[in-house]
Amino acid sequence: MPRFTEIRAGAVALVLIGTAAAEEIPPEPGTGTLARTPAVASTDMVVAANPLAAEAGARILRAGGGAIDAAIATQMVLNLVEPQSSGIGGGAFLLYYDAVSGVVTSYDGREVAPAAVAADQFLDPDGAPRGYLDALVGGHAVGVPGLLKMLDRAHREHGLLPWPDLFAPAIDLAAAGFRISPRLNRLIEKVPTLRRLDATVGYFMTEDGAAKPVGTVLANPRLAETFRLIAEHGVEVFYSGAIGHDLVAAVQTVPINPGRLTTADLAGYQARIRNPVCLDYRGFTVCGMGPPSSGGLTSLQMLGLLRRFDLGRLDPNSATAVHLFAEAGRLAFADRDLFIADPDYAPVPVAALLNRAYLAQRAALIDPKRSHGPVVAGRPPGITGGHWVPGTSPELPATSHLSIVDRNANAVALTTSIEFAFGSALMVRGFLLNNQLTDFSFVPTRDGRAVANRVEPGKRPRSSMAPSLVFDPDGRLMLVIGSPGGSRIICYVAKVIVGVIDWGLDVQAAIDLPNRCNRNGDTDLERGTGLARIGDALEAMGHIVAERDMNSGLHGIMITETGLIGAADPRREGVAIGR
């Protein structure tokens, strides 16, 4: 079986435009979408969820580094300044595009379950699923972190600068400190799990238990020292050395939900190369991350289901456009919930789920004037029996995405996570540990049949992360995109791709579009964006409509004949920096 899919692409012509950074205007939750001016550049571009992180990546590019080098530097600073979303205590998926060979390589740095996990890991003594917030705190839900092993592998294969150089921006900033942003302050204040463990309370809160105020300089000398050790000694100091020893001890001895992770689990972790999943959409080739993430496959299914409809003739925010998009999501999520899990444990029928005839058959269920309501998974070609049953996993949003294009037109789309906001709330040597095991189905079996995404030793939990690359009809890379947002990531990324291809929008305008999503239930409309005006029309078509805060963090780069267009989501505090 091939370990990668080759996508051939021609050279991208770049013409000098200038250097710019998108405005940083983070809205308060629920205030709606704010339009931004995109950044433009001619040489390279970094788009990330925090200006300090994006500047770290840009600094590496200016020093002669490539896209992988810049991604590592950006991620390390994100670990410091956006600790609620990602870091070395978690995992990630990365797509790398090599402009010379035209090859897309798909890296899997997803966490894995310790060898000692049990099938009833997330059930209470009566056999009922535990409460999500109770299950995630402490060590019980900590999976073996995969981020560093994945980045190390990508760097050995594609890096240009020495490994230690990539940690310098984060080390300097962790030692000196950074100012707490309004968004970080709000999350410290409202996330209840932070108050249950002493280390996080001491770091993030004042003596009277309040969130440290906006503008407070927050230094993290312990993280600076952790980064120095990894920079000097490589990732083995994390997986087999002193850092790993402390990590395992913290998981096993934490007073709330002690976990089962061992030094053997940590030392045995391997980053994987997976086959990207790709689909033709109106002559464009869209590629995403394959299983164990459901993000690429499900967003591609949505696009494949929408091929029979002329979306380009519709207003993006019309009831008809939202209806069709929601119905496509409904069908795709039904398949996702049944079929997608770690392919090493539950074979995923990738080709069958993307089969053009199968998608056309499923698309025929979409009535342009009436909602179907909840649907069951389809029967892709070659699938003969009901081997699996759908599971349940909360998969709440707390993730980050960065997009990078370097001076040689190589590109990175990296989505990275510790799962819930501030992960397990368990802090070791200055970084937070993930709670990714709660991305498994809490219920392992139903009616005597297994759930594909049930917890098992050594297994990777299903994800919805969807780093994506889009190639134009001539095979040239034209879009790098991805987002945080839990399972709604799939809708967010699909919205941008439809916005660019069907509605002719630039990447910033496509990101700015109000979010909409259906995960085979309610049709969610982004609160405060004006989409509520079509709520009555959607309800008349049979939808159950819910207005929600849909806090995407879409970060993308569009490659055009005249240069690079970088776009950061106005719903967060990210920025695009190029030259």
Burial class (CB in 10 A: 0-12, 13-18, 19+), 382: exposed
Q: Beta partners for 415?
A: 93, 401
Higher pLDDT, 101 or 446: 101
Name the band, by pLDDT with cuts 50, 70 and 90, for residue 36. Answer: confident
Sole residue written with tokens 């660019």: 500
CB 468 within 8 A of CB 299: yes
DSSP tag of 123? B
Pairing of strands 523-526, 545-548: parallel
Going by C-alpha positions, the residue among 81, 59, 282 that lies closest to residue 185 is 81
pLDDT at position 199: 86
- List Cβ<8 Å contacts ≥24 apart for 193-199: 193/133, 193/136, 193/137, 193/420, 193/421, 193/422, 193/424, 193/425, 194/422, 194/425, 196/137, 196/138, 196/256, 196/425, 197/137, 197/138, 197/254, 197/256, 197/425, 197/426, 197/427, 199/426, 199/427
Q: What angle do CA 554, 359, 340 make, to 5 degrees?
A: 60
Question: What is the distance between the alpha carbons of residues 185 and 216, in angstroms, rounded to a whole number?
Answer: 10
Which helix (H) or strand (E) is 228 found in, with range?
Answer: helix 221-233
CB 58 within 8 A of CB 70: yes
Quick: pLDDT tens for 281-324: 999 999 999 999 999 999 999 999 999 999 999 999 999 999 99
Tell me the CB-side half-sphere exposure of residue 357, using CA atoms within 13 A: 5
The mean per-residue pLDDT over the stretch 335-363 comes to 95
Which helix (H) or strand (E) is 40 found in, with range?
Answer: strand 39-41
Sole residue written with tokens 């000692």: 116
pLDDT at position 392: 58
Higher pLDDT, 63 or 29: 63
Name the band, by pLDDT with cuts 50, 70 and 90, for residue 394. Answer: low
pLDDT at position 383: 78
- pTM of the predicted model as reported, rounded to 2 decimal places: 0.93
Going by C-alpha positions, the residue among 383, 384, 387 that lies closest to residue 447 is 387
CB 419 within 8 A of CB 482: no
Give the number of other CB atoms < 10 A from CB of residue 356: 11
CB 272 within 8 A of CB 163: no
pLDDT at position 390: 61
Q: Which residues are catalytic?
A: 399
pLDDT at position 382: 84
The mean per-residue pLDDT over the stretch 74-80 comes to 98
Question: What is the distance between the alpha carbons of residues 274 and 253, in angstroms, rounded to a whole number?
Answer: 35
Sole residue written with tokens 């159950």: 544
The mean per-residue pLDDT over the stretch 251-259 comes to 96
Name the band, by pLDDT with cuts 50, 70 and 90, for residue 146. Answer: very high
- Mean pLDDT across the chain: 91
Give the tokens for residue 408.
């040689």
pLDDT at position 396: 53
Residue 395 has pLDDT above 60, yes or no: no
Question: What is the distance between the alpha carbons of residues 559 and 556, in angstroms, rounded to a whole number?
Answer: 10
Residue 128 has pLDDT above 80, yes or no: yes
Residue 189 has pLDDT above 60, yes or no: yes
Higher pLDDT, 145 or 14: 145
Number of residues written out for the chain: 579
Give the tokens for residue 462.
């299903």
- Residues ≥6 apart with Cβ < 8 Å to 288: 95, 276, 277, 278, 295, 296, 297, 299, 300, 466, 467, 468, 469, 493
Torsion of CA 110, 111, 117, 123, to 10 degrees: -80
